[in-house]
Structure 1
């Protein structure tokens, strides 16, 4: 079974407590019917980056992070190239985290900006 990271061909470039960078090619898999990058794919990339960052702040043997809320402003349309998410923590608490994610293209131009709130849940 494939997950969305595999389906959308996302590649993790950097992961640590303060910064997560993930790259996604803009292919037909992530485009809307008019041929542009789908806003939902941008949001998926943003939440994935935030979630991977959130994992760095918890005890993964006892806890997990799940998306609680996300908002995203789409700034620039794209038909090809790459979308790069750069996620940084805005707030890291015991029960919630807030991550800011800038989504840029391969030229470094801002494509979208997102903020994702994660809930920290107990798994055991």
Structure 2
């Protein structure tokens, strides 16, 4: 559940990515509400595969980052934590440059597992990849 102002929360989320893979890939959280989280990632040579297209692994890293972060908002972070169990990705369309946007929405939020759909789209809202992320909710030790 989201309790602080949207801009403050987005700033806090983006500050938390310092010195992480998200910073390396230039992933930026851009929008949040009670049922979704959105982030962007530029498509350039840093995230290309040898043929000059967006690397599927970069798409999966974006999807897991956004989905697992979104999952944190449905748990008691003082007592629980989220860990990824499985991620699947279907890459629909290639992209060479621009900005992609990942939108994470819940499919199922259970007490012990959650399933999230993450759609990655280009600037024209064309589907690039669709991912499903399963996370487990663990008690903090």
Name the TM tier (shorter chain): over 0.9
Superposition misfits of 4+ residues, deviation over 3 angstroms: none
SS at match of 1:33: coil
Bigger relative contact order (CA 8 A; separation at least 6): 1
2:80 aligned with 1:63: yes
User: Where do 1:16-95 residues align within 5 Å?
Assistant: 16-95=33-112
Aligned residues: 124
TM-score scaled by structure 2? Answer: 0.84
Secondary structure of the equivalent of 2:63?
helix
Counting helix residues as a fraction of each chain, which structure ranks higher?
A: 2
SS in 1 for 2:78: coil
Residue 133 of structure 2 is aligned with which of 98, 116, 119?
Answer: 116
Q: CA RMSD in A?
A: 1.1
Query: Which ranges of structure 2 fall in alignment gaps of 5 or more residues?
Result: 1-17
TM-score with structure 1 setting the length: 0.95
